[in-house]
Amino acid sequence: MSDPTVADTRRLNSKPQDLTDAYGPPSNFLEMDVYDPQTVGVGRNRFTTYEVRMRTNLPIFKLKDSTVRRRYSDFEWLKNELERDSKIVVPPLPGKALKRQLPFRGDEGIFEDAFIEERRVGLEQFINRIAGHPLAQNERCLHMFLQDESIDRNYVPGKV
Partner 1 sequence: MSFFSFGQSAEIDVVLTDAETRKKAEHKTEDGKKDKYFLFYDGETVAGKVNVTLKNPGKRLEHQGIKIEFVGQIELYYDRGNHHEFVSLVKDLARPGELTQSQTFDFEFTHVEKPYESYTGQNVKLRYFLRATVSRRLNDISKEMDIVVHTLSTYPELNSSIKMEVGIEDCLHIEFEYNKSKYHLKDVIVGKIYFLLVRIKIKHMEIDIIKRETTGTGPSVYHENDTIAKYEIMDGAPVRGESIPIRLFLAGYEMTPTMRDINKKFSVRYYLNLVLIDEEERRYFKQQEITLWRKGDVVRKSMSSQATIGAQRFEGSKSSVSSMLDLKCRA
Catalog residues that contact partner 1 under the rule CB under 8 A: 1-2, 4-5, 7-12, 14-15, 17-18, 21-22, 24, 26-28, 30, 58-60, 88-89, 128-129, 132-135, 137
Residue whose CB is less far from partner 1, 121 or 135: 135
Determine the Cα–Cα distance for residues 33 and 138; give it in Å rounded to an integer.
Answer: 21
Residue whose CB is less far from partner 1, 17 or 45: 17
Residue whose CB is less far from partner 1, 86 or 115: 86
Q: Note whether 46 and 117 are within 8 A (CB).
A: no
In the bound complex, what is the minimum distance in angstroms from residue 3's beta carbon to partner 1? 8
Q: Give the burial class of 78: count Cβ atoms within 10 A of its Cβ; 0-12 exposed, 13-18 middle, 19 or more buried.
A: buried
In the bound complex, what is the minimum distance in angstroms from residue 2's beta carbon to partner 1? 7
Determine the Cα–Cα distance for residues 5 and 73; give it in Å rounded to an integer.
Answer: 67
Q: Give the burial class of 34: count Cβ atoms within 10 A of its Cβ; 0-12 exposed, 13-18 middle, 19 or more buried.
A: buried
In the bound complex, what is the minimum distance in angstroms from residue 62's beta carbon to partner 1? 14
Determine the Cα–Cα distance for residues 139 and 9; give it in Å rounded to an integer.
Answer: 45
Q: Give the burial class of 82: count Cβ atoms within 10 A of its Cβ; 0-12 exposed, 13-18 middle, 19 or more buried.
A: buried
In the bound complex, what is the minimum distance in angstroms from residue 9's beta carbon to partner 1? 5
Residue whose CB is less far from partner 1, 27 or 154: 27
Residue whose CB is less far from partner 1, 5 or 154: 5
In the bound complex, what is the minimum distance in angstroms from residue 143's beta carbon to partner 1? 14
Distances, alpha carbon 126 to alpha carbons 1, 76, 98, 151, in Å: 59, 11, 20, 18
